[in-house]
Amino acid sequence: MTDLFSVSGKIAVVTGGSDGIGQMITQGLVEAGAKTYIVARNLEKARKAAGELSGSGSCIPIQGDLATLAGIDAVVAQLSELESRVDILINNAGVHRFEALEEFDEESWDSHLDLNLKTPMFMIRKMLPLLREAGTPEDPARVINIGSTDGKRVSDMEHYPYYASKAGVHQISRALGRRLGPEWINVNAIAPGPFPTAVTDVGSPELREQIKKGIPCRRFGSPEDIMGSVIYLCSRAGAYTNATILSVDGGIAGA
């Protein structure tokens, strides 16, 4: 069973691995023995996050702004200098703002669609040579795009650019899983519900209690919840899971 869920010796890249859900995922991968690169704009913060994990394994920070194609090119060029293959790509970096129908402007629409949807699409395309080097029929390379439960359902919250971007993330994950599966690259999405990060740290304690009441499991997600799902998808246990959307949301999407 230990081998079934092993990612030891794999090479992983986590975008936005310096904070929030990306940091939780990074902790899981590093502690499980994967050499893990984290990409973020703020290098100091990324160095600090990587340093905190260095006792448990190998975590290397890379500075980059992934919201533009030039930024993606620069990061992929760095990774290609450092490694000849990448086994695991986690497209996690994202932006989120609650804005009512009359509130959000063109900049907000574009920044959500750019970082949340365009970035995973182009990261995957530009990382294909490294992913193709890693994938085998027995042990495909793995791509996980972090979507959202709000890409699957509509709630009382208003965040239209976010809804659009995350629904798009889910659909490209399914399409790319189908397209790249025969090349031994599995592409899946994880659709998290609320996790305690800077994104959800808005509003009063009463609002947070209100949010919990809407979650069938009656709690926010924990690091173990997201780590466990990522380890499953990236290990032998998840080798036959492709082109799917895994909800890690305490039951919100099904409720």
Ligand X SMILES: NC(=O)c1ccc[n+]([C@@H]2O[C@H](COP(=O)([O-])OP(=O)(O)OC[C@H]3O[C@@H](n4cnc5c(N)ncnc54)[C@H](OP(=O)(O)O)[C@@H]3O)[C@@H](O)[C@H]2O)c1
- Selected from 27, 92, 188, 229, the binder of ligand X by CB under 6 A is 92
User: Which position has the token pair 């200098």?
Assistant: 81
Give the x-and-dash track for 164-203 against ligand X (CB under 6 A). ----------------------------x-xx-xxxx---
Q: Which of residues 29-88 bind ligand X (CB under 6 A)?
A: 39-42, 45, 64-67
**197 or 241: CB nearest ligand X:** 197
- Contacts of 210 by beta carbon, 8 Å cutoff, 6+ apart: none
- Catalytic positions are 162
Query: How many angstroms separate the CA atoms of 55 and 77, rounded?
Result: 28
* Least CB distance to ligand X at residue 105 (A): 19
Burial of 173 (0-12, 13-18, 19+ CB in 10 A): buried
27: amino acid identity, one letter: Q
* Least CB distance to ligand X at residue 232 (A): 18
Q: Which stretch binds ligand X (CB under 6 A): 17-25, 53-61, 203-211, 232-240?
A: 17-25
Q: Describe the crossing of helices 20-31 and 223-234 by its angle, rounded to 10 degrees.
A: 60
* Least CB distance to ligand X at residue 204 (A): 17
Helix (H) or strand (E) holding 254: none
**8 or 216: CB nearest ligand X:** 216
Summarize as ranges the residues that interact with ligand X (CB under 6 A): 15-16, 18-22, 39-42, 45, 64-67, 92-94, 96, 115, 146, 148, 192, 194-195, 197-200
